[in-house]
Each structure stands twice: as structure tokens, then as C-alpha cells.
Structure 1
Amino acid sequence: MSETSHRISVADGESVAAVHHAAADDDGSDGDGRGWIVFCHGFLSDKTGSYEHRCQRAVREGYDAVRFDFRGCGESDGQFVDQTIGDKLADLRAVIEYFDPPALVLFGSSFGGKVAFHAAVDESRVEAVATRAPVTYNRTFDEYRSVVAETGELVFDTGVCIDERFFEAFDAYPFADVAASLSVPVAIFHGRDDDSVPIADSLEAASALETDVLLEAFAGEGHLFSASAEARLLERLFHWLEE
């Protein structure tokens, strides 16, 4: 299984860190597989942990897989507070242009799901979007918005923070734009007991989308999936992609 690290230039002389997991031919050598999957991590996350496992599973299924850190996260340049959704979209586009696949699937978790949805509207090479507990409607961040409005910034337990710049950009990306424009198949996997991003948002989003949508609710699962739920998610994901 071939795994290579890359530095990809973005804006202002900065770069993002990406890892490419290459699909293998039957003889074990690197070769063109069944397609490409690019994984977008969540708001306070990075490309490690579950994303490494997901990429390894993608390779076993015959896909080239890419995981990367948005700026301000993991091994990428920049400060978290300076990054807006527009910057995250620019990072994702830079990753896609760098590897230049003929077609791809986007997979996004939580806030990475929102990024994936909006990127897919403008990227003609995206053939499908899969998400886990995606942020769709901007009301999900209303509690954060209130803190920023009152104090000027919100500092998370990890030590990173956001300020009013985040919401100035955030408000320019309503889910209504996705619902009106997205035409590729969508898969949404969501825990029924998610207290960070309500499953009701995914139900509403699935109803609003005017394309084929698979929505699967995972009983007893919260915003972070258990190992067994993650395994089931991957089984469902690659079965859906096969279909």
C-alpha cells in the first residue's frame, strides 16, 4: 500500500499538508484504481486518526484516496482563527487541482461535510458527495455566533478560536445554495443521538436536495461514531459507491 506526503501551495505563500494513498493493481503495484476519494476533516479535527483508516479502506476497495489538513489545522500552515469557510474551500480546490483526478468523490465529516457540499456545486469532476453528521444549515453554529457577538471571540478547549470574520464568510454559504444547485448523488450518515449537529438537520437537508439521497441513521450514536458504527459506515459507503 503506497502512501506519500505532499505540500500543496495555496494562498499568501502558505501550503497545506496532504497524504495520497495510491490504489494498487492486482499485482500489488501502484496503478489506476476505481476512482478517487478526497476526505475533508471536521472543524476542530485534522487528517489523522479515522481519516487514515478510511483512506486505507478506500485503497483496499480499489480507490486512490487523499486526506489533508485545512490551513490552521494539523501540519498545514496558517492560524485557525484566520481561516474562513472560503479559505477551506480554496484549500480543497487546491488539493483537487494538485492531484488532478479525472473524477472524484468527496467525503466530509461534520464541518468538512459543509465544505464538501459547497465545493461540489462548482467542481464538475465531483461525481458524488458522502457525509457523516454534516453541518448543513448555518443555525448549527448559532451558539458559537452568540458568544462571538458578546465577547468578540470564542476560544475552544483546544486553544484555537474564531472571531467575527468566521461568521461574515459563513453567512455567504447557506445550504439553500446547495439544495438548489447540487445534482450528484448524496449519502448522509448521521447518529440519532448527535447533540452537536441534530439529525433533524440532515432529514431536512435530504428533503431539500433535488437529487438522489441516501440517508442512514445510526441508533445510539452521537456526533463521534463508535468503532463499530464507523465500520458499518464504511461498509455502507462502499456498497453505495459500488451501486
Structure 2
Amino acid sequence: MAPRCGLCYVQAVDPLNVEHAGRTLRGVLHLPHPHREPVPAVVLCHGFGENRMGSRDEFVRLARLLADKGVAAYRFDFAAFGESDGDPADFSVSDQVSQLGAVLDQLERNRAVDPARIGVLGFSMGALTAVLTAGARPLRTLALWAPSGGALNLPFWNGGPYRDQIRDWGYADYNGIRFGRAFLDDLPGLDQFAAARRHAGPVLLAGGTEDSLMRAELIDPYVEAWGARLELHRIEGMGHSPGTLAERERLLDLTGEFLLRTV
């Protein structure tokens, strides 16, 4: 997706790590140049078992688009994923919420970033993490790609082999991704819809018509919570993530336009 610019910025991409609970979360900050004043920023939160690149480099492309238009973007790996420290057995959504809080704290202290203009984008489990975080602290704007269902997905996790695997092996194997009991035990206490009602800013929610996470049971409570502040997009034929170039371009275009307008 080529940036459509009246004014395009040069961007620096620099390592920026965050310390959290004895672990190093590794990430990179896309920062537009030149800038005389602090710039707005968006934090990108990847999905379960993924990393700061995104499932098909979507996060890299989105970060470049934002920085080209004067908005900083921070991509990082949650603990136990990508290049960040951590044991997959300790993974839980609540721990990711705490990690994201540490990331936001550090960005708010960064002199290049306007602390009053920070938004968050998340995909799947990262989107669930983003919603829960938005319920705990003010965020300028929120963008969600196919948010995970949290406790409403417990029938899936409990109906599979995962608890037996944890009992027998000490961990579970989901499509080659290892996790432990902490993840399953954490889910029942999550209430993303209560958190959603505490977020006062604009929201984009986008996903595919063929994605079960976009079903009414999981999406209608967001519509009720956010009303006219929600921009809801269902991309025809798309599954949980873009499967064609056209789907990816559509998702990036509508997300980039929303974030540039609202952050």
C-alpha cells in the first residue's frame, strides 16, 4: 500500500525495549521526522503466538503508513513470543494487559510522543488485551481486528485436548503454540464488555464475514457499549486474517484512515 501523501515524513525505526516483571519486551518505534513538537502514537498488539511483524507483515506496513503521515507507531513482542523474554507456560491475557500498561507508561514518558494522543490497535488476543486495557486507563483511540472472545471462548478451550495435555505434559499444544494452565485459569475472570463500557473514545472494529469471532454473540455487546462511537467493518469473504492481497489492502486502508483521523 503506497502512502498517499501531501506531506510525507522520513521515518526512523529504532529499537525500544520495555522492562516488565523481570523480562525484556523487545520492540521497535517508527518515529516520523522531522517533528518540532511531540507526535501522536499508536501501539500495535499482535495475536496469540504471533509477533510484532503481524501475521503477514501487516503491522510493519501499518506502522510505516502511520509514520509516513506523522504518527509514531510502536510494535513489540508480548512476553514469550517473538524475541521477548518469558516462558509460554506463564502466558495469560491478564499478564498481557499488564505488559501493555508498562509499554504505555514508557511511551508516555518519551519526549518525542504526545502522552495525550496515544492509541492502541490489537489483533485477536491482542485486541482483547487492548479492550481490557482501555477499560483500565484512558486511550485516545482504539482499533480492533477480530477481537478474541475471552471467557466466551472457554467451551472451545475446555472442549479440546488442552487441559488433558497440561495434566500429562505440563503444557498444551495449540497449532504448534505452547501455553500453560495460567491462560485457561485466567479466562473466566475477563470481562471485556464491562471494560468496553469504560472506554470513552472512538473505536474501529474490523473483521471478516467468515470469522467465527465476528459472530453476533461476541460483537453485539460492543455495538451496545459504544453506539455511534463505533465504526464496524465486516470484510466480505475474509476469515480470521486477510487471505488475499485485496483483503489485506482493505483492512490496512480503513484502519490507517481511522487512526490518522482519531489519534
TM-score in terms of structure 1 length? 0.88
| SS, match of residue 80 in structure 2 | coil
In structure 1, the residue matched to 2:142 is 129
In structure 1, the residue matched to 2:127 is 113
How far does residue 175 in structure 1 lie from its aligned partner after superposition? 2.2
8 Å Cα contact 2:78-2:99 kept in structure 1: yes
> Which segment is superposed worse, 43-52 or 162-171?
162-171
| SS, match of residue 23 in structure 1 | strand
How far does residue 234 in structure 1 lie from its aligned partner after superposition? 2.3
Query: What runs of 5+ residues in structure 1 fail to find an aligned partner?
Result: none
In structure 2, the residue matched to 1:42 is 47
| SS, match of residue 42 in structure 2 | strand
Q: Deviations over 1:195-225 (max 9, x none)?
A: 4x24334531333314511101000111111
1:54 aligns with 2:84: no
User: Alpha carbons of 1:137 and 1:75: their partners in 2 closer, same or farther (altered >3 Å)?
Assistant: closer
1:190 to 207, 220, 228: 207
Structure 1 distance, partners of 2:96, 2:37, is 28
Query: What does residue range 1-243 of structure 1 map to in structure 2 within 5 Å?
Result: 1-11=11-21, 13-24=22-33, 29-32=34-37, 35-48=40-53, 49-100=57-108, 101=113, 102=115, 103-124=117-138, 126-146=139-159, 147-152=161-166, 153-158=171-176, 160-195=177-212, 197-211=213-227, 212-225=229-242, 226-241=244-259, 242=261
Q: What one-letter code is carried by the residue in structure 2 that aligns with 1:21?
A: H
Q: CA RMSD in A?
A: 2.0
User: Alpha carbons of 1:234 and 1:85: their partners in 2 closer, same or farther (altered >3 Å)?
Assistant: same
Structure 2 distance, partners of 1:84, 1:137, is 11
Size of the aligned set, in residue pairs, is 235
Q: What one-letter code is carried by the residue in structure 2 that aligns with 1:184?
A: G
If asked which structure has higher relative contact order (CA below 8 Å, sep 6+), I would say: 2
How far does residue 240 in structure 1 lie from its aligned partner after superposition? 2.6
Q: What one-letter code is carried by the residue in structure 1 that aligns with 2:62?
A: R
User: Alpha carbons of 1:106 and 1:201: their partners in 2 closer, same or farther (altered >3 Å)?
Assistant: farther
Q: What one-letter code is carried by the residue in structure 2 that aligns with 1:204?
A: D
8 Å Cα contact 1:41-1:47 kept in structure 2: yes
| SS, match of residue 76 in structure 1 | coil
Query: What runs of 5+ residues in structure 2 fail to find an aligned partner?
Result: 1-10
Structure 2 distance, partners of 1:62, 1:186, is 20
Q: Deviations over 1:5-64 (max 9, x none)?
A: 1221100x211001000022xxxx355465111000001110012211111111122200
The percentage of counterpart residues that share the same residue type is: 21
8 Å Cα contact 2:134-2:196 kept in structure 1: no
Structure 2 distance, partners of 1:104, 1:150, is 42
Structure 2 distance, partners of 1:237, 1:176, is 22
TM-score in terms of structure 2 length? 0.82
Q: What one-letter code is carried by the residue in structure 2 that aligns with 1:23?
A: P
